[in-house]
Amino acid sequence: MSVDLAAVRRIAHLARIGVSEAETPHLQHEINAILKFVEALEAVDVEGVEPMTSVIPMRLPMRDDIVTDGGIVDKVLANAPLTEDGFFLVPKVIE
Amino acid sequence: MTELTSLTLAEARDQLKSRAISSLEITRAHLAAMERAKALNAFVATTADKALAMAAASDARLAEGEGGPLEGLPIGVKDLYATEGVHTQACSHILEGFRPTYESTVTANLWRDGAVMLGKLNMDEFAMGSSNETSYYGPVASPWLPPNWSREQARAALIDGKRGLLSPGGSSGGSSAAVAARLCLAATASDTGGSIRQPAAFTGIVGIKPTYGRCSRWGMVAFASSLDQAGPLARTVRDAAIMLRSMAGPDPKDSTCSPDPVPDYETAVGRSVKGLTIGVPREYRLEGMNAEIEALWAEGTEWLREGGANVVEVSLPNTRHALPAYYIVAPAEASSNLARYDGVRYGLRQPGADIVELYEKTRASGFGAEVRRRLMIGTYVLSAGYYDAYYVRAQKIRTLIKRDFERVFADGVDAILTPATPSAAFGIGEKSSADPVEMYLNDVFTVTVNMAGLPGIVAPAGLSSEGLPLGLQLIGRPFDEETLFSLAEAIEQSAGRAKLPEAWW
């Protein structure tokens, strides 16, 4: 499989990475090089093989369904580029 | 007297305990060495005040006859570990100015045991790279001189873009360079596809990626969560064992972290390898393989045989699928993990007319080229219509890779011996060609271990004809790091400890 320029633009938008028109052909070339590299996998027989979900067999630990932290607004906001009244500030999302 | 920075971690520990030296002395010696080695670019942040305060506190504890297993020992921390109030950016521009309000579990364990933090170490951006060249802070120069280079020539290159100097490997290139250059006694590192083991091989030091789940991932900047694992880089097998014991351990904050207690790995160092069965996988003998690497591998096999181990040929038939499958799984998980860098909650923010433009502009300018490329690949293989063909198929292949190892271990093999890298260290700028796959091939011997969640250790085993270090890798059963430490020490003893380069920088 390989991607065309329209697909590169679509992927970039899905990944929320701004890409200029000038960069697109170069990216297309690189992405296709990687897709060509993984192409060999198409020939592997995986009939009846379960996809790996946990690399080491272990049961997820359970804990009581109680609040274990919170009340640390200052810490949560400490690294935010823009805040106001204890909230993250973003451009208007809903018109 | 030996220079304080040339002591091994174990020697320094013993001398601190006997009060022959103080933590302040050895910490100051390392801070001075870091200052002299600034041009190598191994550290991206120095925490001198913190180091001196921690050292003074250690000295007070040692004076009382108290102190943990790492009391007073100065170490470096890869920039991927969250350290409270201290520069933590995984060497990415998108985390500009980030100062965590919390401490990663692994580093908290190290401070609990008395270690002293010297600063944060350079790395490939978000650990995506095998040469440390994708770092926002620029490449790191290996302390090893390129073949036939004079010290003057190297010094000139150091201040002029570092081109032609050797890469210390990646992604933990700052860690490997700093340990090999004796700027710290040991360092934390992390390994998603070989990022501890390849830098260890390139710089003539020891690195272990433990079993998935042995160390907590809490507070480590995530790359690919099902592959990432913490581990140490150190100058001897014993030092790596001492470090790992402190780094590892149960953590309720990481549900994939093993609840099992951590053995005292140091007791495995020096243990006889007599009677152990070592597998040599025929699929690792690649076509067109470097003859020196092949000879080194054979020599390593011979050393273990002389130590009383039985060596058998084994087959891991799905080996050749590991690297392509990795380049689906790792970018897929990265694209999901790195979605959090949105310019809203922390780090860099580029203003936009609306929220989508804010995201796109922030991420376009905050991520470097390699990270952007991998995020796009990951997004593609997870997108509607391609998920089954790529991601699910890769995860099935992962099951096959793991089964290969399980079969070999079930047949009585205790560990598997392989080369660590396809070649000795390459030069900075040498592999930044148009084809990203060329760099990816560096991980061909290491990546299977991450795909199967197994522990893998690399120990220095000799020098190339050009005088550059070469390493061998041992792969173990899940949670059997002890056997790896025993075997790696046998290799270390037979090969003789690598003589690290004198300071030319």
Give B331-352 pLDDT, tens digit per residue: 999 999 999 999 999 999 999 9
Active site residues of B: 78, 171, 195
A/B interface, count of CB pairs below 8 Å: 169
User: Which among A14, A33, A90 has the least Cβ separation from residue B344?
Assistant: A90
User: Which among B101, B346, B352 has the least Cβ separation from residue A91?
Assistant: B352
Q: CB atoms < 10 A from the CB of B99, how many? A: 16
Is the CB of A13 less than 8 angstroms away from the CB of B360? Answer: yes
Return the pLDDT at B434.
Answer: 59
For residues B45 and B48, give the distance between their C-alpha atoms in angstroms, rounded to a whole number: 9
Is the CB of B395 less than 8 angstroms away from the CB of A51? Answer: yes
Is the CB of A33 less than 8 angstroms away from the CB of B392? Answer: no
Return the pLDDT at B427.
Answer: 95
For residues B78 and B91, give the distance between their C-alpha atoms in angstroms, rounded to a whole number: 9
Q: Which percentage of chain B shows pLDDT scores above 90?
A: 94
The CA dihedral of A16, A17, A23, A28, to the nearest 10 degrees, is -60
pLDDT, tens digit only, all 505 positions of chain B: 469 999 999 999 999 999 999 999 999 999 999 999 999 999 999 999 999 999 999 999 999 999 999 999 999 999 999 999 999 999 999 999 999 999 999 999 999 999 999 999 999 999 999 999 999 999 999 999 999 999 999 999 999 989 999 999 999 999 999 999 999 999 999 999 999 999 999 999 999 999 999 999 999 999 999 999 999 999 999 999 999 999 999 999 999 999 999 999 999 999 999 999 999 999 999 888 899 999 999 999 999 999 999 999 999 999 999 999 999 999 999 999 999 999 999 999 999 999 999 999 999 999 999 999 999 999 999 999 999 999 999 999 999 999 999 999 999 999 999 999 999 999 999 987 657 777 888 899 999 999 999 999 999 999 999 999 999 999 999 999 999 999 999 999 999 877 899 999 9
Is the CB of B376 less than 8 angstroms away from the CB of A29? Answer: no
Is the CB of B101 less than 8 angstroms away from the CB of A75? Answer: yes
Q: What ipTM does the predicted assembly reach?
A: 0.96
Q: A37 contacts in B (CB within 8 Å)?
A: 324, 327, 437, 440
CA distance A44 to chain B (A): 8
Return the pLDDT at B433.
Answer: 67
Residue of B nearest to A26 (CA): B434
CA distances (Å), origin B443, targets B196, B440, B498: 11, 6, 23
